[in-house]
Amino acid sequence: MKTEDLIGVYPFLKRGLNKYFEENKSTSILSFLVNNESEISVAVAQLGKVLEGEEITFSTDPDKRVANYLITKVILTYIRDYFISARYAIKERKALYENLDKEKEPRILKQVSHELNVDIDQQGDRYLIPIPSFLKNAVVFNDKELKLCNQELKDGNVVASKHVVAKIVREAFYKKYMQDVNEVVEFPTEVDNMLKGYVGQIASKGREIRQERANLGPLNEKAFPPCLLEIIDQMKNGANASHASRFFLVTFLHRIGLPNDEILKYFGDVPDFAEKITKYQIEHITGTGRGREYSVPSCQTLGSLGLCYKERDQLCSSGKISHPLGFYRTKNLVNRPVSKSGSVDRVDKTRGAKEE
C-alpha cells in the first residue's frame, strides 16, 4: 500500500501529521487552518451530524481524509467538551476497527498497533499481545471475546486472532484520542478568533443535548419499564443478575441522571457485591472514569438477550415503544410534568468547555 493510501485509511499515523507539519517547518496550526479553511466547514457539519445521531462517511481521498482528521481534532481540543468528543471518537473508533479487521498486510497491522503503543508479534496467522497491554485495552464491558479467561496464553502473551487484535487496537486508539482532545491547550489569539465563529453552534448543540437529558426531572421509579423493574426485583431478592442485566441497569440510571454513588446503591443486595469492583464497573460504563460513555440498549437488543417483558405492560405490548428511555419519558410525562428548572445533578457535565 502506498504511503498516501495508508494515511488515507489510518489518518492518525505520524506520516499524515508529518506531511503537513514536518515536511514544511514553517507550517503552524494557524497557517494549516487558513490553508484548509474549506475543510473546517466540512468538519463542523460532520460534527453536527454526529451530535444528531446521524451516520457519517469519511472521504476516500487521502489528503482530504487527513486534513479532516486533523482539523476535527483541533476543533475538539478547542471546544474541550468530553461529551462531544466521545460522540465523535466513537465514529473514528468504528472506522479504525472495520479497516483493521479487513487489513490483509500484517506489516501494516503491526505498524498501526505500534503507533498506538500496542506492540504485537506475528505467529503464523495469529498474533502475540503482551498480557499487560491486552488487559489495559480489553475494557469493553460484557465482551466475552476480550475476557482474559477466554484467551490462549503463551510466555506472558495472549495468542490472539486478527479480529481480537483489531478490538484491542481500536480501544487503545479511543483512549489516546480522548486523552489528546481533552488536554488543556492554550490556542493563539488568531486561532481562537478563527475557530470561534465555526464552533459556537457545535458547543451549543452539545449543551442542548445534555440539558435535554437533565430535564427528565427527579428520579421516578414508577415510570421504570418492566424490563428494568424485573432486574431490580431480582437484585433485591438476592439474585446474581447477569452481566447484560447489570450493564442495562447502569446505562439506564446514568442516562436519566443518577450520579454514580446513587447507582451503586442498587447493587447492595447482590450476593457477589464488591464495592470497589462495582464502582469501577459503573465508572467504566458511564464514561466517568475517562472512558467511553455507553448507550442504553434498545428494546430489540434487550429482547435478543431475553430481558424483555413487554407483556407485563400495555404501553410496551402496544408496539409503540422501541426504547426503554422512550417508555420512561412517556410514563414520566403522564405521571407528572417535568420542570426545566429542576434538572438532575448529572455526572457527565462539560469538562472545561468554552462558554459563549
pLDDT digits (tens, 9 = 90+) for 139-197: 765 577 888 888 999 999 999 999 999 999 999 999 899 889 988 888 999 999 999 88
Q: Is residue 238, in this structure, part of any structural domain at all?
A: yes
Q: Is residue 353, in this structure, part of any structural domain at all?
A: no
Q: Does 180 lie in the same domain as 286?
A: no
Q: Does 9 lie in the same domain as 148?
A: yes
Domain's final residue, options 150, 180, 207: 207
Q: How many CB atoms lie within 10 A of CB 341?
A: 5
pLDDT tens per residue across span 214-265: 556 667 888 999 999 999 998 888 787 888 999 999 999 988 888 888 888 8
How many CA within 13 A on the CB side of residue 115?
Answer: 18
In the prediction, which pLDDT does 207 show? 76
pLDDT at 85 over 50: yes
Residue 126: helix, strand or coil by DSSP?
strand
pLDDT tens per residue across span 125-149: 899 999 999 998 887 655 778 888 8
Q: Does 230 lie in the same domain as 191?
A: no
Domain's final residue, options 207, 239, 263: 207
Q: Does 66 lie in the same domain as 152?
A: yes
pLDDT at 23 over 80: no
Q: Does 61 lie in the same domain as 107?
A: yes
Q: Which residue is associated with the grid cell 490472539?
A: 160
Helix axes 106-115, 162-181, angle to 10 degrees: 30
pLDDT at 349 over 50: no
Contact indicator for 269, 278 with CB cutoff of 8 Å: no
Which CATH number goes with the domain that contains 25?
A: 1.20.930
Q: Does 92 lie in the same domain as 60?
A: yes
Q: Is residue 282, in this structure, part of any structural domain at all?
A: yes
Q: Is residue 20, in this structure, part of any structural domain at all?
A: yes
Contacts of 134 (CB under 8 A, 6+ apart): 148, 151, 158, 160, 168
Q: Is residue 120, in this structure, part of any structural domain at all?
A: yes
In the prediction, which pLDDT does 341 show? 38
Domain's final residue, options 207, 238, 254: 207
What is the Rg, in whole angstroms, of the alpha carbon atoms belonging to the chain? 22
Contacts of 202 (CB under 8 A, 6+ apart): 44, 47, 48, 51, 75, 79, 84
CA 350 centroid distance within chain: 15
Q: Is residue 61, in this structure, part of any structural domain at all?
A: yes
Which residue range is the domain that position 65 belongs to?
3-207
Q: Any idea what the Cα angle at residue 169 is, between residues 166 and 175, rounded to 5°?
A: 140
pTM, rounded to two decimals: 0.67
Q: Does 143 lie in the same domain as 68?
A: yes
Q: Is residue 159, in this structure, part of any structural domain at all?
A: yes
Residues of the chain with pLDDT > 90: what percent?
Answer: 43
Contact indicator for 120, 128 with CB cutoff of 8 Å: yes
Q: Does 126 lie in the same domain as 86?
A: yes
pLDDT tens per residue across span 307-348: 999 999 999 999 888 899 989 988 887 554 433 334 343 333
Q: Does 233 lie in the same domain as 110?
A: no
Q: Does 118 lie in the same domain as 45?
A: yes
Q: How many CB atoms lie within 10 A of CB 146?
A: 21
Q: Is residue 344, in this structure, part of any structural domain at all?
A: no
β-sheet bridge partners, residue 121: 128
| Total count of domains within the chain | 2
Q: Does 149 lie in the same domain as 31?
A: yes
Q: Does 231 lie in the same domain as 270?
A: yes
Contact indicator for 157, 132 with CB cutoff of 8 Å: no
Contact indicator for 150, 65 with CB cutoff of 8 Å: no
